[in-house]
Structure 1
Amino acid sequence: MTEQQSNGLPFVHANGLCESKRVGPGTRVWAFAHILPGARIGANCNVCDHVFIENDVIVGDDVTIKCGVQLWDGLRVGNRVFIGPNATFTNDMRPRSKVYPDAFLQTVLEDDVSIGANATILPGIRIGRGAMVGAGAVVTRDVPPYATVVGNPAVIIGYQDTQSSQTASAERPRLGGADALGAKIGSRIELGVSNCFLERLPHFSDMRGSLTPLENGKGLPFVPVRNFLVYDVASSRVRGEHAHRKCEQFLVAARGGVSVVVDDGRSRAEVRLTDPSVGLYLAPMVWGIQYKFDRDSLLLVMASRPYEADDYIRDYDEFRELVNR
């Protein structure tokens, strides 16, 4: 350990070049890395060999930037972000040699994001808190908080567990309905996320077919004011991604299957709805996401209130702030 490191100051390898004066204590800049004067780097970061950082770049605390990464103008990196080897960032949708835009597009990596090796991130994209980008993925649009994306173009294949100082993150059950609940009408599984639960609805089958009646007090926990259907959703697309301040919802996969993530800002669960005799209750102030739609899926949603634009919370950071209050 050098004297600079022991004093908490940034360490710059003899073969590294750091022109910026705004580098936090404890940060290490290794051989053949180059940081331009305008860049701002937080504390306790690790800037590995052959990293280049341009002027209009802001990097938070406790960030790891592995070898062969270039951070171009317009990039904003949150705290505790991991950027894997040779990950590629871009800042111009239509680059031409010696032709520069008035301002470069801003790309944002929120806190706790992980970028896999050789991933490519298009300009102007926001990657949400806690998201994970798989190795080699090509990210062409915004990534929701805690999502895991892979492929070219990148698609969501799952969601990361939430960790909180207030409550430990729950194991995310992946419930198909029938196997978890059994056949008994009224059986219920509490998800450990606010008041959300899965419930076995009344259901009847004979040689003529099957029937699932929905009545208030017999499966439905409220009198629905608004009902709607979600269908023809491509498997690569995501629905929901919002919370309601007051509105309660009840979801039934009338046909096919869909995965639903529920998140109260402290813990999170994921369930797979595949059975029309199983309902999922979403309490108010719960962030809901629906994804992995089967090709022929038909999702029935019942709501306790009419459509009210002010009841929606569409920004996850705002949602977390409201929950923490």
Structure 2
Amino acid sequence: MNHFVHPLACCESSEIGERTRIWAFAHVLPGARIGADCNICDHVFIENDVIVGDRVTVKCGVQLWDGLRVEDAVFIGPNATFTNDPFPRSKQYPEAFAATTLGRGASIGANATILPGVSIGQHAMVGAGAVVTRSVPPHAIVRGNPARITGYVASATQQAGKPAATTPFPSQPGVAATEVRGVTLHRLRQVNDPRGNLSAGEFPHDVPFPVRRYFLVYDVPSTETRGEHAHLACHQFLICTKGSVAVVVDDGVHRQEFLLDRPELGVHMPPMVWGIQYKYSSDAVLLVFASHHYEAGDYVRDYDQFIALKQAALVAD
């Protein structure tokens, strides 16, 4: 046997990966599949229709129910609770249990509750005691009941477990580079006047591309996240004309977050940068200038596809 099962554990499955350890009082049913180098701690129960990837840690007191898919390098904290039936009744079973997916590298905090049918994105972090009622985007940090996005984790090139790094906007009108390739921060000209303040920009000097479209985002509930996509060809320039909104940009290697809270601050996002906007204030109005007319085919809405396209571009270069 190329894996370890404690004498007080009950492992009925034959599909256990190399070097995986199953500790005392754990029970693994026959249909379960567990990858290599996993650590299944005391008092863990794993049902039949469960697939666990490689290098997964499942701490004490966790039950993994039918329909759960756990990708590689996931951490599941003690007493985390998973569910698979939105309308449970004794001795009444659905035709199929709701599928729940934990993406690669995700972490689930102690005593968190995950409702059925949601997806936890890759490298996302669910805080201790959080109640996850809907899917969590990749790299997001969620806390509370119901769980809400409170931040985004740093990229692989930054220190793990800390929020995404930030770069200050220029103190005077001008442009500042960021760690995210092609993304720049802009401070536009501002005139303060007792009769009312004014902020102004010129095309193409301040907005560095020909503008063919604009749109406004407003009346966004503070709990909502917008964006979560990249563009193949379109440039965007973001200004929060009222209130505040946090902007996360990601080139697949670096990730940074910026707060737009003054109308003279702008962020230029070139094509193939993953963009997210969240933490909208109740009065926020986000103005976006775009270099292209709306084209549905220009959007990349799946983060894994975005990463694959970035890697393919690197190989082509």
How does the TM-score come out when normalised to structure 2? Answer: 0.95
Q: Which SS does the other structure have where 1:215 is aligned? A: coil
Determine whether 1:194 maps to 2:181: yes
Q: Which SS does the other structure have where 2:142 is aligned? A: strand
Q: What does residue 86 of structure 2 align with? A: 93
Q: Which SS does the other structure have where 2:16 is aligned? A: coil
Alignment check: 8 A CA contact 2:82 2:114 kept: yes
Residue 231 of structure 2 aligns with an amino acid whose one-letter code is: H
Change (3 A) 1:171 1:83: closer
1:211, CA displacement in angstroms? 1.4
Residue 101 of structure 1 aligns with an amino acid whose one-letter code is: P
Is there any run of 5+ residues in structure 1 with no aligned partner, and where?
none
Q: What does residue 21 of structure 1 align with? A: 14
Q: What does residue 181 of structure 1 align with? A: 170
1:60, CA displacement in angstroms? 0.4
1:235, CA displacement in angstroms? 1.1
Is there any run of 5+ residues in structure 2 with no aligned partner, and where?
313-317
Change (3 A) 1:286 1:168: farther
Q: Which SS does the other structure have where 1:295 is aligned? A: coil
What number of residue pairs does the alignment pair up?
311
The aligned runs of 1:233-272 (5 Å cut-off) are: 233-272=220-259
Q: Which SS does the other structure have where 1:86 is aligned? A: coil
Whole-angstrom distance in 2 between the partners of 1:237 and 1:171: 19
Determine whether 1:133 maps to 2:121: no
Q: Which SS does the other structure have where 1:300 is aligned? A: strand
1:194, CA displacement in angstroms? 1.6
1:218, CA displacement in angstroms? 2.8
Determine whether 1:84 maps to 2:77: yes
Whole-angstrom distance in 1 between the partners of 2:111 and 2:163: 30
Residue 17 of structure 1 aligns with an amino acid whose one-letter code is: C
The aligned runs of 1:255-294 (5 Å cut-off) are: 255-294=242-281
Percent of counterpart pairs with the same letter?
58
Determine whether 1:144 maps to 2:132: no
Determine whether 1:46 maps to 2:39: yes
Alignment check: 8 A CA contact 2:250 2:273 kept: yes
1:217, CA displacement in angstroms? 2.8
Alignment check: 8 A CA contact 2:56 2:74 kept: yes
263, 272, 296: which is aligned to 2:283? 296
Change (3 A) 1:288 1:17: same
1:251, CA displacement in angstroms? 0.2
Task: Between 200-209 and 50-59, report the one with greater CA deviation.
Answer: 200-209
Residue 286 of structure 2 aligns with an amino acid whose one-letter code is: L
Q: What does residue 124 of structure 1 align with? A: 117
Change (3 A) 1:189 1:278: same
Alignment check: 8 A CA contact 1:202 1:218 kept: no
Runs of 4 or more above 3 Å deviation: 167-175
Determine whether 1:58 maps to 2:58: no
Q: What does residue 74 of structure 1 align with? A: 67
Whole-angstrom distance in 1 between the partners of 2:5 and 2:224: 45
Alignment check: 8 A CA contact 1:168 1:267 kept: no
1:171, CA displacement in angstroms? 8.0
1:168, CA displacement in angstroms? 8.5
CA RMSD of aligned residues (A): 1.5
